[in-house]
Amino acid sequence: MASVNTQVFRSRRNLKPALFLALMMLTGALGTQHVAAYVDISVDVKRNAFLRYEPVQVAVTIRNFSGNPLDFGKRGEARGGVEFSVFRQGKQYVAPKQKEFNFGTDLFLPAGASRRLEVSLNRYYNLQRTGSYHFYVKVKHDRFSNAVRSQSKSFTIKDGIEIWSKMVGAPSSKSGEIPVRKMTLMTFSQKKKGVYALRIEDKDKVYATIRLGRRIMVGTRPEFAVDGRSNFHILLEVEAKLYVYRVVSWEGELEETQYFMAKDTIPHLQQDDTLGTVSVNGGTKATPGVDFELKGSDRDNSRAPQRSPRPGR
């Protein structure tokens, strides 16, 4: 047996370095494949760049290849877990806000079945510092000899450039001091393309960071106004002769989205100072998929508000 091992060693030594490395990598891949045979993990990040306080939406799909049903705690005592490991600027570990949080407590996987988990990472990890981040997902179970790890995914957190801000009062049915919110209109770049976004916050928390539409280099400037109920209105030209009109409430909810084409007239915002209302005047209403096709950030515009506490709170 010893002479066989010696012969193998001599054969490896005579191999060309590139071929030897390829064989070693193949051996390593086969070894990993045995461990990953329990489950397959795929991870998808909605975007590769996010504004600070914008929801970092991640989708994790887990498929059970173990040949057995896997209960992670939904039907009894917790026997497994789904965990994230997040890093900033390479190797700076980002600790979860809640220690040892398990995303799989309600997960049950029949043999051959798959489940999709959707997670907003900023709810569980402090991602308020700008910079590059990467993360992976780890699935553990007491019937596995080893935990299974996904491939690493990366994204960037950026700051926007403020172009307008305003303090507004928040409508309230209660007597006493009127709550105040700050609205900030900003732009930021993603893959050399500009995007308009709105942030709504007070001194304690950020209520929403919402993408409003693309910023094109040639076209009209955006028109925006705040109505008598502290709702934010904006009209953007997102491509030649195509405009998007959005209304965002003081709570950070995207209340309305409409599209207009500049045909006989150009659309613009009109304020009624007597009634305190804002509306669109001019242009022709357009329907996505009928009059035009949505592109980029207009197609997957953020609709869910993200209430993010400030650092230290």
pLDDT band at residue 296 under the 50/70/90 scheme: low
Task: Answer whether residue 229 shows pLDDT above 70.
Answer: yes
Q: How far apart are CA 177 and CA 82, in angstroms?
A: 45
Q: Are 162 and 198 in contact (CB under 8 A)?
A: no
- Mean local confidence (pLDDT), 241-248: 95
Q: In the 3-class helix/strand/coil scheme, how is 13-64 assigned residue by residue?
A: HHCCHHHHHHHHHHHHHHHHHHHCCCEEEEEEECCCEEECCCCCEEEEEEEE
pLDDT of residue 298: 56
CA dihedral sign, ordered 225, 186, 304, 260: positive
What was the pLDDT predicted at 294? 78
Least confident of 12-21, 107-116, 302-311: 302-311
The answer to whether 122 touches 306, Cβ cutoff 8 Å, is: yes
Q: Is the model's pLDDT at 312 over the cut of 80?
A: no
Bridge partner list, 44: 59
Inform me whether the pLDDT recorded for 303 exceeds 70.
no
- pLDDT tens digit sequence for 19-55: 544 444 443 333 333 345 799 999 999 899 999 999 9
Domains defined along the chain, listed by start: 39-157 (2.60.40.2970), 161-309 (no CATH)
The radius of gyration computed from the CA coordinates of the chain, to the nearest angstrom, equals 26
Distance CA(229)–CA(248), nearest Å, equals: 11
pLDDT at 301: 54
pLDDT at 237: 93
State residue 232's pLDDT score: 97
